[in-house]
Chains A and B, each alone.
Chain A
Amino acid sequence: MTPADRLYTKTHEWLKIEGETALIGITDHAQEALGDITFVERPPVGRKVEKGKAFGSIESVKAASDLFAPVSGEVVQTNAELEKTPGLINEDPYGRGWIIRVKGIEADELASLLDAAAYEEGLTEES
């Protein structure tokens, strides 16, 4: 269920390393909890994001939440498809529902992130 090819945060973001850059999105659990997503506020390309700090926000029918950066880095691309179809996050949170791509990641920041098994374990404790 939770893809093993990436890392996770306790705040329900995922990070997938792809060469020199990494994709960031939110987990299936997060999209489920938020319900129908209506809007995603994405940072502009070039913006520096900081590990643990908000880089944008996500709105669903009745809630709004911050998106926290799993690592520090610089935004090189954001998912423009979310502008018209924010529901992509509900449909395909680990694929077409990605949110931003960052570069300049420090390897030692990855150590504190969770693998799929540890993230799922956290979910069980939460519920």
Chain B
Amino acid sequence: MSYVPVTPEQRARMLAACGVRSIADLFRDIPSDSAPRSFDIPRARSEMETSAFFRELASRNYSHLTNFLGGGFYDHFIPAAVDAIVSRSEFYTSYTPYQPELSQGTLQAIYEYQTQIARLTGMQAANASVYDGGTALYEACQMALHATGRNRVVMDGGVNPIYRKMLVSYTANLSIEFAEIPVSHGRTDRQRLFDALNAGTAAVILQNPNFFGVIDNHADVVEHCHSRGILVIQSVYPIAMALLKPPGEIGVDIATGEGQSLGIPLAFGGPYLGFMATTRELIRRLPGRIVGRTVDRHGREAFVLTLQAREQHIRREKATSNICTNEALCALRAHVYLSLMGKEGLKEVARLCRAKTAYAMERFRAIRGVRVMESSPVFNEFVVHLPMDAGDAAGMLVERGVAPGLPLGRFYPGMENYLMIAVTEKRTKFEIGMLAESVESVICQ
């Protein structure tokens, strides 16, 4: 059946009822300089032409590159079973149901995802997810601001600059005061951070491992903040949580992060996955959906959306957040990925990342003219100083089939010669060797 919303006769009747002659008349009040210049769109194309067009477009993507890019998004291995399970139509075609309790399977999957996130972060409760790691961090800020009734947020310079940009633009029209404390030797600068705290400070935002890949134990920062009634938000890399102390163990109040590494392929801009977890005290301030487990009147296990009084459809403008859905399919991918890997599998991935990164660092130390930044321990990402512009070096290496890493000058003016290299379990010894040799050859040119 073809989709014909209205017939020309029906359209004429509707226009008559509105008292206008044409559809264009409905838009008369839009100033001409704000209106689209034209509504000309290309002629319809056949399926064959369309697929050829998009194939050509897709072929321009450099998807063949050996990838050492990181900065919050990583090229991890995704078992084939993730796609197979997630693409089952029962999961794939269903949107967040409006009568959610009818979809027990979807709710059970989300509940299990929440449980995994809570365990991974060591926190007491997690929500059903939000759009991405940056959104999660912004929502965590809002939680802290509301919970404390204060309006200042102090951010460690090790927080991903993409998140920082998101936070600043989300809050541009709110009266929130942001302070940022640059890192010292790649780590949180305790002294300057503590000096920046005052009675109006609601929260401190940290990241572990931080943007530069550096591992830090923030237990002392948490202790100091709590003694002043300040909440601590920590953004974490989920794969690293298999080896590092999770936020829950050091007393963090809200843990957030980007879940892309958990079975979600790299794509320009997403869809990705923001995870959020918190303590029992703050659970009513968590944004978005939360699935709970209960029993029905016959005593059988059942899943429900719970604590909905926080949400927009009940609390209106006083809701904790305007998020009223979740990133269900991506959360499901994370759930399936974590289930397939298991506790030991995830540890193995993390160990491989760390070991291969150590090997890559060794290779770079041996290159003349390259300096490896290593005053603090790292997880799977490290920064090197090149004797040339890192963006130029990356450009040349891309032509040789290698994405060597993230040139830091893009985010930090003055750091034009710094390149940040990420190594996942997917990179082979051969590929790491090839990276080192290619970098050596371009800097010698």
Contacts and interface: CB of A to CB of B under 8 A. Distances in A.
Contacts of A63: 309, 314
B364 to A, nearest CB: 53
A59 to B, nearest CB: 4
A45 interface: no
Nearest to B308: A62
B284 A41 contact: yes
B318 interface: yes
A14 to B, nearest CB: 23
Interface centre among B284, B309, B310, B318 (most CB of A within 10 A): B309
Interface residues of A, number: 10
A39 B318 contact: no
Interface in B250-293: 284
Interface centre among A57, A59, A62 (most CB of B within 10 A): A59
A59 B285 CA distance: 13
A66 interface: yes
A66 B318 CA distance: 9
B316 to A, nearest CB: 9
A35 to B, nearest CB: 12
Contacts of B310: 64
Contacts of A41: 284
16 contacts: A38-B309, A39-B284, A39-B309, A41-B284, A57-B318, A59-B309, A60-B309, A62-B314, A63-B309, A63-B314, A64-B309, A64-B310, A64-B314, A64-B315, A64-B318, A66-B318
Interface of B: 284, 309-310, 314-315, 318
Given A39-B284, A39-B309, A62-B314, 12 more contacts: A41-B284, A57-B318, A59-B309, A60-B309, A63-B309, A63-B314, A64-B309, A64-B310, A64-B314, A64-B315, A64-B318, A66-B318
Which 10 interchain pairs have the tightest Cβ spacing?
Answer: A64-B309, A59-B309, A64-B315, A64-B314, A63-B314, A39-B284, A63-B309, A41-B284, A39-B309, A66-B318
